[in-house]
Each structure stands twice: as C-alpha cells, then as structure tokens.
A and B are shown apart, each in its own frame.
Chain A
Amino acid sequence: MSATVQTNHHPLAELWHYRHLLVSLTVRELRIRYKQSLLGVGWAICVPLSMMLIFTFVFTRAVNVVAAMNIDIPYALFAYTGLVPWAFFATGLNSSVNSLVNNRSLVTKVYFPREVLPMSAIGSAFVDFVVASTVLVGLVAYFHFFTDWNFNPSPAILFLPVVVVVQIIFMTGLALILSMANLFYRDVRQILSVVLQLWMFATNVVYPLKPDESLIGRAVALNPMTPLIGAYRDCLIKGQLPDSASFIYATLVAVALLVFGWTCFQRASYQFAERI
C-alpha cells in the first residue's frame, strides 16, 4: 500500500509562494477582531496595561511583596515587560489552537499550505504585541524623569530582534502541534487555556523566579519562557545581554520544537480535510 503525490514544489517553496496569503489572513484576523469595536487596536494596549496596574496595585499596596522580590527596576516596568511578551505568547497560542477548526471551509475546499492558518494567528498576535510595546517608551520616560530610577541606553537593545524571533519560533512550533492536535481532539483548546494560566505563574512574568533544587524547582527551570522574558528585560531595561547559557537553551528548544512540529504537521496535513 503506497501512495505518492508528485509535484514540482518543495513544501518550503510552497509556503514561500503563499506568503501573501499569510499576510492576507493576518490582516483579515485583525480587521475582524477590531471591526465594530470602539477602541479597536487600542485593546492591544489596554489589556496588558490594566493587568500591569492590577499586579502593581496588588503587589505594592494590597500585600507589599515587591520589596522581597529583590528587583532592581521599578515594579511597573518589571511587570509590563513581562506581561506584554506573555500576552503575545498566550493570545497567539489561544487563537492558533482554533485556527484550523475555525477555517473548516478553507481546509476542506481549497488547497494551500495549512501551516499558514496557525502562523497567521501568531501574526495577528504579533501586531498586538508591537502596538502594546509602544507604551513601554512612555513608561520608561515616566520612571526616568519622575523617579530616582535612571534609564541607561545601551547597545544591548540591538539584541531585541533576536529575542523576538526566538519567541516566534517557539510559538510557531507549539502552534503547529496544538492546532493539529485540536483538529483531531477538540479537548486541546480547553486544556490549553488551563495550562496557560498555570504556565504564566511558572514563568517570571509578574515576579522573578529563582528555581531551587526541589523537584518543582527543577521543572520550572526547564521552562524556556523564563529565559526569554528575562532576555526582554535584560536588553530593554537593564541594558545588558541576557545570560547566554539559558538563552541558548531556550533557542535550541524553540528550534527543535519547530522542526518537530512542522514535520508532524506536514505528515498529518493530508488528513485534515477528512478528519476536521
């Protein structure tokens, strides 16, 4: 029993050919999300900003634990530089997990590289991420001019694109696996929303993490999101390059996941139209 389908296109060449579809789908997703909404893309700012305000209030006013955190930058900056990349991560995954299932008519009626669907979900989350990041300029300026904290620009900020790319690679690998799994078993999206909640608190998003030698501590140390979020703070706020060992580890995990996810996705994509 064998079946072969011969074409003169490599899957990557095929994906490259359909790059405009990726852009169109991303734009479509953004347009649909923000059409008939008063604030529009402003919501991309409001969500992480209000989260930042809540955590700042809780951790400094309700229970003052910030002092015990031992962080050398204002807590609001610390929280916002964690919450914005995390929102990108969580939104990207939550929308990509449904991307194949929600586009059923496309998947069953038209051929195109199916990777484009989860990738465009990440693409639209990325636009939100960029918009939300602009607020950081205002926040840094506020703390620089109105508090005794001083911002020291450093060439380390040039490393920022590398951090963003590694996060996108990591997310794409996950998104390919999750969207495919959700096509076969719709439980995946439910599980994902719970896992993401838990994952956020196992990451240095709103507090620093110092993994100890306990079993939980070792498990937390394996989380590649912690070095990534640390890297954002390092090169944006602290003006230093991230810790190389942990950042290389995160990069390797991200690349391995993308290769694995993409291979599985390629193999399974022929079944999508039948199983969706």
Chain B
Amino acid sequence: MANGSVQLQDVSKRFYRGTAHDTLRDLLASGIRRLTRRGKPKTRDSFQAMENVTFQINPGEAVGLIGANGAGKSTALKIISRIMKPDTGTITTRGRLTALIEIGAGFHGDLTGRENVYMNASVLGMRKPEIDAKLDAIVAFSGVEAFLDTPVKRYSSGMQARLGFSVAAHVDPDVLLVDEVLSVGDVLFRQRCVDHMQKLVNNGTALLFVTHHLEQMQSFCSRAVVIDRGKIIHDGHTTDAVARYIDALKNGETSKTQATTQTVARVTGLVFKDKFNRETLTTHAHDTIDIDVRYELAKPVTNLVVEIDIRRDVGSRLANFSSIRDNVTFNTPKGAGCTTLKLPALPFLGGQYFFRAILRDPDSGNTIADTDYRFSLFIEDDDKGTGVLCLPHEWQSNNQPQPDIQHDIQHDIQTEQHANALP
C-alpha cells in the first residue's frame, strides 16, 4: 500500500533573529520609530539554515540525514513535514507523510494510557478505526498493559517513552521522517523500533532518518545525505557519507587552529588497500589490510615516527601502532612520502572503525601532524557477533563421566571401619 516519495528542489530557508514583535506595544513602538525615523533601525540578524538543498527519497528507500548540531537537519525535517515553509524552492510529497519529531506528542499527565494512545495517534494522523484496530498491538508492543487505565502522570518516564514509541511505531505512512527520537529508550526496545521501520521500508515506505547514531543508521540506510551549515556536502553511499561527516566535523573544529600553527608536516591521506592492493573503504573481518599513510614534509626528518590509532564509533582507543615502539623510524626527505602499515587477518568484528594518523619527530620531541579520527573503514562481517574483537578461539568439551560418589563414600566408610577395627 505504501508508495510514497519526497523531492526537494533548491530549498532554502533563512531565519531572522530579534525581529519578531511579541506584543502590540513592540509593534507600535517600532512603527512610531519608523515613522519618525528616530533611533537606529534594528539590523536584520539572520542565518541561512538551508541553502539550495536538493535531494529525493524514492519509495522503499531508507535515507539517513546526518550533520553536526545546527547544520540544518531539524529545519529540513520541519520543512518537509510542512511545519515550516521554505523561503524558496519546491517540495513535492507523494502519499501520506508522518514525522516523528517528538515522542508522545500531545500526551497529558491527567489522561490515562489508553486515552493518551488515542490522543497521540490522532495527532500523528491516524483515524479512529485504525487506532481501534491497532490498540492491542500498540499496547503489547509497549509492555505497559497493566497500567493502561492509569493516568500517565503516574508512569515512570521510561514507561511514557515506551508508550509514545509504540504509537509512533504503529503509524504506517507512505513517507516517514524520524528524528533523533528513536535513539532514547532501552536497547531491546530500540531494536524493535528499527525492525519495525525496516519492515515499513520493505513495503515501500520512503524513510528519512535523522540521527547522530551512525551505527544504527548504517544498519538500515543504504544511502545518506550529509548536511553542513545548511548545504548538502554529500549524497550517496552511507559509508562514504560517514567519512565525509566526520571530515566536516573535524574541519569545523580545526580550521581555526590550523591556520595559526606553522605546519611542518601534513598528512594528505590515509588509504586502505585490500589483499589485491586495491584502494577500498570496506573490508571483511579476518582479511588482510594495508594502510598507506601519505604525507608531505616541509623539511626532511631523519627519524620520522608514524603512529596509527584505531577506535570504534565513539569510545576508547582499540589499538595503537607506533613505529618507534617497533624500533622503526623513517629517514624521510622533504616532499611527499608514504609509509605503509600491514595488518594481516584483521581481528575486528563488523562495523565502522575510525583511524587516526600521527607523525612525530623525536629529535625535536614534537608531534608534527595529527589527523584525528578522520578516516574510516567499514568492516563487513557475516558472523554477526557482538563486541569489537574476534579473537582466535576454539571450544572443547570437558564432560567426562563422573566418578560414582556413592561408591567412594561407601569405600571410605569401609576403610574407616577397617581402621577402627585395628587394635
């Protein structure tokens, strides 16, 4: 049934700050000021939340929308869902659209769980017969059956969230926009929501998923749009999108500091190569991978030390390779250079891994270049194990036939009696 799509064409949106008149008094005052031309006119302080944004979501496609805070993701959602209107551009929506920007919209503490389900579902555009039909499923999904006729103000915040989630998960729209909302709640519940959305997408729903949770996005979006300061900087395969996103994040943070420090060395790239020596961004667990660290030196370095750090999505460092610890340094001339780290049989499980390259000059004692975790490699894993590492291991059965305990006790008693019988 679901067969929706969304198309944005050159959509722009600009916000003005400090110009709204909230009371008639302000309006009168500014009107008089304008008439008498006294006082300075307020400057129109504005910022571009979206700039010529063009993309499309086809039926049955799940697209991720990622970007730093304030990049324009929420504005995009609000514009697509018609909460706001763009300044320029065209938005075409086919089919019924539902946006999940807030969980439990319209919930009121004085109403019971059941009443709130009806309230929330109708806010999301469901009709009463539809809600009647789905009520049991919604309640079962949420797991709050026992409290259905209790006012929601007596619920724990987790229960409220679950009930809100459940209603949201049972909306069957043609176009579904999902904001960060699904990233709260416990893991199992979240997984249920994701599975449910996957089902919708398989049935033809066009899905736009806004998140900071990259792994969750990668698990079911094949395509992602990266937005940075209102502009689309990438639209394509999710893995590349994640790399571009991290890139944009780091650039935004380091652009100022880089200009001030004098660069002695610069890492120009971190290139992953598979066993056939082809450049790649994805690999398989247990495969061989070569990592080329490419750099440019402003002056020759006699004992160049190369380091590589690896970490998962967000979290602590998983591995650190430092050439000096392995007693290797590189006598490198000025100009472009390249050092390769060979990793046979990668021990990592599937997922996204981030890499950082550091160049050091031990003679001056300085770090001369640091890329931070800008580079990423996606590891595919058919094993679907959880965790990070896949260590070499084997299982062994130790179920030997148990000795007859009864017999042993009997035997002990006998020997004891025998011992007592001795004079």
B394 CB–A CB distance under 8 Å: no
**Residue A146 at the B interface, CB < 8 A?**
no
With A21-B122, A112-B123, A112-B125 in contact, do A186 and B105 touch (Cβ < 8 Å)? no
A184 to B23, CA, bound (A): 8
Chain-B contact segment, one of A79-87, A102-110, A242-250: A102-110
A187, CB-defined interface residue at 8 Å: yes
Q: Mark A12-39, 1 if CB is under 8 A from B, else 0.
A: 0000011011011101100110011000
Residues of B within 8 A of A3 (CB): 11, 85-90
- In the complex, which of the residues A1, A18, A24, A106 contacts B87, with contact meaning CB atoms closer than 8 Å? A1
Beta-carbon nearest neighbor of A181 in chain B: B24
Complexed CA–CA distance, A187 and B24 (Å): 7
Spot the interface stretch: A45-53, A55-63, A64-72, A267-275.
Answer: A267-275
Given the known A-B contacts A185-B22, A186-B22, A187-B24, are A110 and B122 also in contact in the complex, defined by CB atoms under 8 Å? no
Q: How many residues of A contact B (CB 8 A)?
A: 39
Task: Give Cα A200–Cα B123 distance, bound, in whole angstroms.
Answer: 35
B124 within 8 A of A: yes
Interface Cβ pair total, 8 Å cutoff: 112
Of B92-100, B186-194, B335-343, the one touching chain A: B92-100
| Least Cβ–Cβ distance between A77 and chain B, in angstroms | 37
B212 at the interface (CB under 8 A from A): no
Q: CB-CB < 8 A to B91: which residues of A? A: 4-6
Chain B residues closer than 8 Å to A25, beta-carbon distance? 106, 119, 122
**Is B118 interfacial (CB-CB < 8 Å)?**
yes
Digit string of A107-143 for contact with B (CB within 8 Å is 1, else 0)? 1111110000000000000000000000000000000
Known: A2-B88, A32-B110. A23 touches B23 (CB 8 A): no
Known: A5-B85, A187-B24. 17 other contacts (CB 8 A): A3-B86, A3-B90, A7-B82, A17-B125, A25-B106, A28-B119, A32-B110, A32-B111, A35-B110, A36-B110, A105-B105, A109-B83, A110-B83, A110-B99, A185-B21, A185-B24, A186-B22
A residues whose Cβ falls under 8 Å from a Cβ of B: 1-8, 17-18, 20-21, 23-25, 27-28, 31-32, 35-36, 103, 105-112, 184-187, 270-271, 273-275
30 contacts between A and B (CB under 8 A): A2-B88, A3-B86, A5-B82, A5-B90, A5-B93, A6-B90, A6-B92, A7-B82, A7-B93, A18-B122, A21-B125, A24-B118, A25-B119, A28-B119, A35-B110, A105-B102, A106-B106, A106-B123, A108-B83, A109-B102, A110-B83, A111-B81, A111-B83, A111-B97, A184-B21, A185-B22, A270-B84, A271-B85, A273-B83, A275-B20
